[in-house]
A and B are shown apart, each in its own frame.
Chain A
């Protein structure tokens, strides 16, 4: 139990609650309930919650599955910095958004669900979890020729490395090594 990441579950719950709020709001405004303006509020609150919760946060251990197309919203959510990173703020925000919708029968379910999600976010915040955006990994370009340091100075057949090693006082001016003598001097042209 000690390794459960509650934030992920709270995220799913908040997203589902947002959808429930939107549905309840549509039923309330279309069915022309007496306090239909609360229905309209509920639709707006639901949309806001959905937009905030759509980008999934990164798990501390292991890889995270991204939601389809979440990278655009990730950029927007990242802009708010600590407001969206901190789960305490999210918990209280959800609680605050949920309360007005609780006064209308059609949206009361949305309130209850969002309140539960806010409770789980509070639990996640107490355990020190944080929202971190899922960044796309920069593609590593393969370095062409990065491992080639120095081309061989003799054409094949080449004697083994030990025979190619020359005593240091002879190495100074003579470009060749070993029994092969090159007609033209060979340089290392690759940096």
Chain B
């Protein structure tokens, strides 16, 4: 189908523009540094000794500088959440860029990996050349102290350690490991701090030096006292000229000016190590990230008070809690940490109910998959009472201590800022939209949203019970306010055994909106386009990748009603 250029530009354009800017920055840095070491007069002798290896290693080092500093920025989640919510980033287009922060982090990581490989290979060749091209003239320039020695021990050692740390981090960060054993990824990724410390030590070695006295000793000049610094690459006519003028006498001082072929050295070349530029590059982002972690640590120090724990069908548990000074916007998520369950693990959950001005309670719905959630449920709801809904009184006093970190932003916050939004949820992915619906229930007038299409696809009909009450109350509220088309609910049961076809006797509004089978997305998009001509519709999906891909493709397509679909996606792992 024809791709609508307007839709494509809105959906993908800014993202690709930023990528282009980043790539050009990298290319520019690489090229500039390469030329500096290839042709710069202060590196003339060093280049003579080391050749291409010098230029490649320094150029890749400058690219590594840039990427090591940029890679920390997308991980400052509190800062990003603040930017998302504040008026500092007014345009929705720029806010949507923040959705791609994880992808940018991964891109920088892959770049670091590749250029580290180039850097290491080039330095290996440098080490060889330091040893092979050893000359007594430039003892202080050479990293090796004598021929046949491999010089540069300290930077080399820190470099090897950094590569090993990087190796551990990268091998644990592949998609397969993240999906199957998230723990390995999380624990090894925290080694980044060791990496940065080693990086700071690595560049303080001062191995590669530049020449400081270029005016008194231009490179390639002739020393009248004996040793000459003429390199073997001087063209023929210059060496002839040298043989002619030298026996004749001394050359006059004005022959030292730049247009003469042969220059006379006034003194020996002096070398000095470069100031470690890397410290300037990485100190800013590293301090910012450390400050943010400290802030998050302090903020999450107080435990929350659990008000109620409810068990829902299909292995879902709802927890309602309060914490003072906790503010969150609908669509944000928090990270739960329960030391009684596991001292080291943290798990993110989307808020299903946000605190409002009148009510300070907030809540999460957790699906019980995996060992952490199972143990958590056993602590909160002892196995005997899991099937019944009545909790004995003594339970409320024995809740374990629970700490939360957050809230952090997510793309779903934008759904209230579009005039028309399409929200598609798959299974437990309904949680971000539940907080949106709760907010609309509270008060819908302050937001820009005027029409919400809510599609919820589940495999098991019992799952609809999680939010059936909320949906019915919301539906009734809008009916009473004479805005029946504000929320359009469609529920889909994708797999059916044919036995149970209604959600419950009291949910008549939902029963009549329940369809058996999978949604037909193309027809849905066509219908939304037709009913909202010329508007911009925000598409939000929280569910399996297959649905997400289809929606993305359909959002970029053309339609004859002039409606634009902007696709907003959250990337999980």
Contact A12 B180 (CB under 8 A): no
Asked whether B144 is an interface residue with its Cβ less than 8 Å from the other chain, the reply is no
Is B121 part of the contact surface with A, judged by Cβ < 8 Å?
yes
A-facing mask of B175-211, CB < 8 A → 1, else 0?
A: 1110111011000000000000000000000000000
| A155 vs B167: C-alpha distance when bound (angstroms) | 74
A31 near B167 with CB under 8 A, answer no
Residue from the list A12, A33, A108 in contact with B176, Cβ < 8 A: A12
- Taking a contact as CB atoms under 8 Å apart, the answer to whether A12 and B117 are in contact is no
- Which B347-378 residues have C-beta < 8 A from chain A? 371
Residues 139-167 of chain A: 1 if any B CB is under 8 Å from the residue's CB, otherwise 0?
00000000000000000000000000000
A27, B180: Cβ atoms under 8 Å?
Answer: no
Least CB distance from A53 to B in Å reads: 11
A4 adjacent to B170 (CB under 8 Å): no
Our pick among B164, B174, B175 for the contact of A113 (Cβ within 8 Å) is B164
Stretch in B123-131, B269-277, B549-557 with 4+ CB within 8 Å of A? B123-131
| Bound CA span A28–B174, Å | 29
Tell me the nearest residue of chain B to A16, going by C-beta.
B171
Asked whether A109 is an interface residue with its Cβ less than 8 Å from the other chain, the reply is: yes
Q: Is B265 an interface residue (CB 8 A)?
A: no
Q: Which residues of chain A are within 8 angstroms of B319 by Cβ–Cβ distance? A: none
A113, chain B: closest CB distance, angstroms: 5
| Interface segment, one of A40-48, A56-64, A72-80, A174-182 | A56-64
- Of A2, A4, A9, A112, which is within 8 A of B160 by CB? A112
Scan residues 1-18 of chain A and give those whose CB is less than 8 A from a CB of chain B.
Answer: 1-6, 8-9, 12-13, 16-17
| Nearest-Cβ distance from residue A151 to partner chain B, whole angstroms | 23
Q: Please, which residues of chain A bring their CB within 8 A of the CB of B128?
A: 31, 33
B10 within 8 A of A: no
Residue of A nearest to B129 (CB): A31
In the complex, what residue of chain A is closest to B342 when comparing beta carbons? A1
A62 to chain B, nearest CB (A): 7
Is there contact, CB below 8 Å, between B164 and A116? yes
Q: Chain A interface: which size bin?
A: 20 to 34
- Which residues of chain A have C-beta atoms less than 8 A from B55's C-beta? none
Given A27-B124, A31-B124, A105-B127, also A113-B167 (CB < 8 A): yes
Distance between Cα atoms of A56 and B177 in the complex (Å): 12
Q: In the docked arrangement, what's the CA distance between A23 and B120, Å?
A: 10
Distance between A31 CB and nearest chain B CB, rounded to angstroms: 5
Residues on A with beta carbons closer than 8 Å to the beta carbon of B509: none
Partner of A108, one of B160, B172, B174, B180: B160
- Cβ B180 vs Cβ A109 within 8 A: no
**Chain A positions 65-117 with a Cβ under 8 Å from a chain B Cβ:** 65, 105-106, 108-109, 112-113, 116
Q: How far, in angstroms, from A27 to B125 measured CA to CA in the complex?
A: 8
Chain B residues, CB < 8 A from A8: 176-177, 180-181
B111 to chain A, nearest CB (A): 17
CB pair B180 A64 closer than 8 Å: yes
Determine the interface band of chain B, counting residues with CB < 8 A from chain A. 20 to 34
Chain A nearest CB, measured from B552 CB (Å): 21
Asked if A13 and B167 make an inter-chain contact with CB atoms under 8 angstroms apart, the answer reads: yes
- Given contacts A12-B174, A31-B128, A105-B124, whether A5 and B180 have CB atoms under 8 Å apart is yes
Residues of the A chain whose Cβ atoms lie less than 8 Å from the Cβ of B172: 9, 12
Per the bound structure, the CA–CA distance linking A21 and B484 in Å amounts to 67
B177 contacts which chain A residues (CB < 8 A)?
Answer: 8-9, 12
B181 — which chain A residues lie within 8 A by C-beta?
Answer: 4-5, 8-9
Measured between C-beta atoms, what is the minimum distance from A37 to chain B in Å?
16
Instruction: Indicate whether A65 sits within 8 Å of B171 (C-beta atoms), given known contacts A9-B184, A109-B120, A109-B163.
Output: no
Residues of B with C-beta under 8 A to A13: 167-168, 171
Are A12 and B171 interface neighbours, CB within 8 A?
Answer: yes
- CA separation between A62 and B369, bound complex, in Å? 12
Report A-chain residues with C-beta under 8 Å of the C-beta of B121.
23, 27
A-contacting residues, B133-185, CB 8 Å: 150, 160, 163-164, 167-168, 170-172, 174-177, 179-181, 183-184
Give Cα distance in the complex from A124 to B160, angstroms: 26
Given contacts A1-B183, A109-B163, contact A56 B124 (CB under 8 A): no
- A12 to B371, alpha carbons, bound, how many Å? 24
Q: With A and B bound together, what is the CA distance between A28 and B121 in angstroms?
A: 9
User: Chain A residues with Cβ under 8 A from B179's Cβ?
Assistant: 65
CA distance A27 to B160 in the complex (A): 16
- Give the distance to chain A from B64, nearest Cβ to Cβ, in Å: 16
| B residues in contact (CB < 8 Å) with A | 117, 120-121, 124-125, 127-128, 150, 160, 163-164, 167-168, 170-172, 174-177, 179-181, 183-184, 344, 371
30 A-B residue pairings within 8 Å (CB atoms): A1-B183, A2-B371, A3-B371, A5-B180, A5-B181, A6-B184, A8-B176, A8-B180, A9-B172, A9-B184, A12-B172, A12-B176, A13-B171, A16-B170, A17-B167, A23-B121, A24-B124, A27-B121, A27-B124, A28-B124, A31-B124, A31-B128, A64-B176, A65-B176, A105-B124, A105-B127, A109-B120, A112-B160, A112-B164, A116-B164
Q: With A23-B121, A27-B125 given, can you name 9 additional A-B contacts, CB distance below 8 Å? A: A8-B177, A9-B171, A9-B177, A17-B167, A31-B125, A62-B180, A105-B124, A109-B163, A112-B160
Interface residues of A (CB under 8 A from B): 1-6, 8-9, 12-13, 16-17, 20, 23-24, 27-28, 31, 33, 56, 59, 62, 64-65, 105-106, 108-109, 112-113, 116
- What are the 5 closest A-B residue pairs judged by CB atoms, nearest first? A12-B171, A13-B171, A27-B121, A65-B176, A106-B124
